[in-house]
Amino acid sequence: MKIIPRIFLIAIIVTMSGAVLSAGDLDNIMPLSQVKPGMKGVSYTIFSGDTVEKMDLEVIGILPNLMGPKQDIILVRLSGEKPEYTGVVAGMSGSPVYIDGKLVGALSLKFGIFTKEPIAGVTPIASMLEADVPASSSAGTSTATVWPLRSPSAAGQQYPLPDGFSQRTGLGAGAYLQPIETPLVFSGFRREALDRFAGELTAYGMVATQGGTAAPQADDGQLKAGQMVGMVLVSGDLSLNAGCSVTAVDHDRVFVCGHPLFGFGPVALPMSRGRVLTTLVSTLASTKMMNAGGIIGSITQDRLTAVVGHLGPAPPMIPIELSLVTPAGEKKLHFEVINNPRLTPLLVAVSAFNGLVANTAYSEGTTFEVTGSIDVAGHSPVLLENMFAPTDLGVPDGIFVALNVQSVFGRIYSNPYEPAQIKRVTLRVASIPERRLGAIEGAWSDKSEASPGEQVGIKVLVRPYRGAPFLTELPVTIPASAHGPLRVLISDADTLNRMGHSFGLGPQSRLAGLEQLITLLNRERRNNRLYVTLLQPTPTLLVEEKELPNSPVSQLSVLDQQRAPGSSFLLRESVAGEWSQAMNQVITGQQMLTITIK
């Protein structure tokens, strides 16, 4: 018998293995109807480096309609030294499964935590191919306005097994399947920053793990089944990527995960090459640690049974410049975030908060002065300006900056008029190492009666935090049309913003469009100003996009007969005038006076 040299034998094995792992031939698949319990197969994944390794497996059975009508799952038991040691690993979802050399599907589900056996659920390849929805079926759908197909809580969906099936497999009636966790790889982020917003990300079935970015390589785009890709959320001085394994590559199409990432349907996320560093083994939950390599394409579909990408150009991201100013100097961070109505506000918030707490000059008990702008394509920029003083609430002082920015983004993206395309964001946060906070303790006017057109001085007593109180005066002019007693409201910004007398702070459906919403956002009061507002007892009618103060009774009667339900709103008072004064500290509180008009 002729002996084949060892080196040639290895070459033959590698060649045969490469033929299986190329995953470029989706014609060589095994339909679910041919999969039977007891069949032997293999799955491919990476445990460390770029080496795709084989795991043996055996089919336990088919779970019909587990994830929904006609959404069957194949239950398999992995075997071999590594899977029996690591269990089913976060990041393993998408690992291709073959039986008799034919592609069957992708590992996608696992059993809870502390599982002793590496038992996994497999999404059939036919179900994954259905996730690549033709562009015509979603024509006219903008990725900037797509709402998720499921709520975040559904991302942690548990799929119980039939009692009889559980007993046959020795799993117990309480066993259930859930999607394999997706590693959320962060670099440049402090863990405390992610933990503050972790609930909104882990709800999608993600587990945070440290990683980084790898330099682009020539073979980044040469994907094979079992390798990993990253779905880019943030890149630059800060990076945040979600990682999944590749199930199949068909020309420029890439099928990964075998379960949804967020469940957003049509999306536009940059796709990068994932470079596995190692597998962190844990009794609680093992996970892959990876770096995000070069950008290789775009994630276009995020569906129940798979995430689909296309090799080639990546979608544009939103550039953000964050300047952090402290007494020690100024530090600038440059990064980009994806353009998505659900995730962009969150990602900007966590990035801004991280930029603050990761600064060596950051300390608690610090007042933050925020300025900046959000450039919206085709519209005026949204101006950011506010001041935030530290509190005794037991939360980091920087969290209020992050939540304010997140709120503004959320209001822009949730507008009912048109998709908001954000072009650029600039944010400057100046840190003042003291608690600049002033409370309104008292107020009085120099006149209790006044004539229309007459000037009245409003004196306000302000007590700073741990400081001596001081007086400030705002001169106000009684409007020529004023009549009856006037109420004088001396207040902070939050009081006026809550009142809702400024049009647009109520339901946005009354506005004419996005431009008017931006105008109203820019008109909102600022925390570092003291406000004096004159209120007179005549009604103000808000009709569609118009504000009609001092509306006569006859006009109210006519409009009441013509208006549709919900198209107008009546306020019992009208604003006769408003004045403000910059205070260089956060103002809180309110006082009320009355002036009689002669």
The sign of the dihedral angle between the CA atoms of 228, 234, 238, 240 is: negative
The residue among 81, 77, 84 whose CA lies nearest residue 110 is 77
pLDDT reported for residue 507 = 45
How far, CA to CA in Å, does 577 sit from each of 381, 489, 511, 569, 584? 27, 11, 22, 20, 23
Q: Does 442 map to a domain?
A: yes
Q: Within 10 Å of residue 176's Cβ, how many Cβ atoms?
A: 14
Q: Which of 488, 491, 497 is nearest to 525 (CA)?
A: 497
Q: Would you state the structure tokens that stand for residue 203, as one six-digit string? A: 């709800």
Asked, for residue 403, whether it belongs to a domain, the answer is yes
Same domain, 513 and 525: yes
Query: Which H or E element spans position 164?
Result: helix 163-169
| Measured CA distances, 195 to 149, 191, 309, 400 (Å) | 25, 6, 29, 16
111 close to 285: Cβ distance less than 8 angstroms: no
Last residue of a domain, one of 408, 432, 456: 432
Same domain, residue pair 333 and 242: no
Q: Are both 580 and 460 inside the same structural domain?
A: yes
One-letter amino acid identity for 9? L
CA distance 515 to 111: 50
Give the residue from 280, 314, 348 where a domain finishes.
Answer: 314
Q: Which of 450, 529, 539 is nearest to 488 (CA)?
A: 450
Q: Same domain for 149 and 35? A: yes
3 state SS of 203: coil
Q: Is 284 helix (H, G, I), strand (E, B) or coil?
A: coil
pLDDT of 33 reads 94
Does residue 336 share a domain with residue 304?
no
Same domain, yes or no: 452 and 421: no
Q: Give the residue numbers spanning the domain of 85.
A: 23-314
First to last CA, the chain: 121
**Residue in 390, 393, 469, 401 with CA at minimum distance from that of residue 435:** 390
Please count the other Cβ atoms lying within 10 Å of the Cβ belonging to residue 199: 9
CB atoms near residue 517 (< 10 Å): 22
Do 251 and 293 belong to one domain? Answer: yes
Same-domain check for residues 146 and 214 = yes
Check: CB of residue 257 under 8 Å from CB of residue 58. no
> Which of 537, 539, 545, 535 shows the shortest CA–CA distance to 506?
545
Task: Determine, yes or no, domain membership for 441.
Answer: yes
Tell me the C-alpha distance between 76 and 41, whole Å. 9
- Claim to verify: residue 126 and residue 205 sit in the same structural domain: yes
Instruction: Give yes or no for a contact between 329 and 338, defined as CB atoms under 8 angstroms apart.
Output: no
Do 266 and 391 fall within a single domain? no
Q: How many domains does the chain divide into?
A: 3
Is 17 inside any structural domain?
no
Is residue 496 a part of any domain in this protein?
Answer: yes
Nearest-angstrom CA–CA distance, 595 and 82: 82
Q: What is the CATH number of the domain that holds 402?
A: 3.10.20
Least Cα distance to 542 among 566, 519, 518 occurs for 566
Query: Which helix or strand (DSSP H or E) is residue 304 part of?
Result: none
Q: Which of 321, 225, 235 is nearest to 272 (CA)?
A: 235
Does one domain contain both 150 and 133? yes
Is 16 domain-assigned? Answer: no
**In one letter, which amino acid is 224?**
K
Looking at the fold, whether 306 and 388 belong to one and the same domain comes out as: no
Q: Please count the helices (runs of H) and the strands (runs of E) in the chain.
A: 11, 34
| Residues ≥6 apart with Cβ < 8 Å to 435 | 365, 367, 389, 390, 465, 466
Consecutive 10-residue averages of pLDDT for the chain (598 residues): 39 37 67 95 93 95 84 92 90 95 94 75 94 60 38 54 60 70 87 77 79 86 93 92 94 94 93 90 80 94 95 96 89 93 90 85 85 96 94 84 91 91 94 92 93 94 94 94 89 86 46 87 92 84 53 50 46 80 95 92
Alpha-carbon span 75 to 78, nearest angstrom: 10
Considering just the CA atoms, what is the radius of gyration of the chain in Å? 30
Give residue 171's pLDDT. Answer: 59
Which string of DSSP letters, residue by residue, matches 478-530?
--TT--SPEEEEEE-HHHHHHH--STTSS-GGGSS-HHHHHHHHHHS--TTEE
Under 8 Å between Cβ of 307 and 263: no
Residue 4 inside a domain? The answer is: no
In a domain, 475, yes or no: yes
User: Of 273, 285, 153, which is closest to residue 213 (Cα–Cα)?
Assistant: 273
Instruction: State which of 389, 413, 432 marks the end of a domain.
Output: 432
Q: Do residues 336 and 322 touch, judged by C-beta distance below 8 A?
A: no
Could you tell me if 387 and 369 are in contact, meaning their C-beta atoms sit under 8 angstroms apart?
yes
Q: What is the DSSP letter of 424?
A: E
Strand partners, 594: 487
